[in-house]
A = this chain, B = another copy of it.
Amino acid sequence: MELGLYTFADVDPNAVDKGAEGARRLANLMEEIALADEVGLDVFGIGEHHRADYAVSSPATILAAAAVKTKRIRLTSAVSVLSSDDPVRVFQQFATVDLLSNGRAEIMAGRGSFIESFPLFGYDLDDYDKLFAEKLDLLMTLREEEVVSWSGETRAAIPGRGVYPRPLQEPLPLWIAVGGTPQSVARAGVLGLPLALAIIGGQPRRFAPLFDLYRESARRANRDPATLKTSINVHGFVADTTEKAADVFYEPQAAVMNRIGRERGWGPTNRQHFDQSRGPEGALFVGDPETVAEKIVAHHKIFGNDRFLLQMAIGLMPHGEVMRGIELFGTKVAPLVRKALTPAETGA
């Protein structure tokens, strides 16, 4: 199983000098990605937002910088809001990241959890699903064909035109990211595309039927099982002790969840709820390396997932603590998980 990290590069939306705040966060982010690469993590993901509280609106731009600062780690969006972007531009940008990284780029496409990008780019939320379906179809066409012929209703037709540059990986990896909508899960299966499921609340095990739906949808569409992969993307943090992990992570993560919650009408979170969520059945992967590794392994047994991505840098987390968390995730958690998932040798 691949292990990795993702972040939206949170910044203080009330910073007086937003440029300086953004520059600080991106400099730290570059160090975090470089360390994740050094300690042998498999994937780093960067999300797309169009809000004052996040520094990244263009994941590929950040990933291009990360490409030349790293050697091994795979670089993905987490996610690209495909619905409100142009698939040709997205493909070109990620093909460029793929060339710069020697074949380590991936696109993780989603419909968008936040919806700020729709009015900003002139899209109608009434077309929420149609936009995604059509743009995903175009993006898949761009992966398959160098000279592209495509037409639809949400974007100008392309009558047999070359799209460049071409990526090193053929095809450029494309994941579908979903929040839990069964139709989205089934679509990924029907298309034979890898599926990433964000689990940021509730009991993760309750999401298991979605993985069954995904695999069953793919089977009915006669998709090659080799093209099917699954990931779970969760919130969590690793520190030297479980107590420290909880104390460092609680406030920044709660501040973000409460801010989003106010916008969406969720009730406020609190420390008690947080402590419950970091138990074996809860959605948060917070603790010392052993605790987090055990929880990752237990959920792998439920989901059979191929990838596990952890959002540690959420809210205004101290950079030094995030760096220590990355180090522990790569040097302690990853070996424990890999050992637990290696089939026991038979005989001897």
Contacts and interface: CB of A to CB of B under 8 A. Distances in A.
A341 interface: no
Contact of A60 (B54, B61, B167): B61
A156 B122 CA distance: 5
A143 to B, nearest CB: 12
Interface string A101-134: 0110000000000001001111100000000000
B68 A30 contact: yes
A259 interface: no
A239 B20 CA distance: 41
Copies in the complex: 2
Contacts of A62: 64, 96, 100
B96 A57 contact: yes
A146 interface: yes
Given A56-B96, A58-B96, A88-B120, 7 more contacts: A18-B164, A22-B95, A58-B89, A61-B96, A62-B64, A120-B158, A120-B161
A61 B102 contact: no
Interface residues of A, number: 61
Nearest to A123: B156
A139 B47 CA distance: 24
Contacts of A205: none
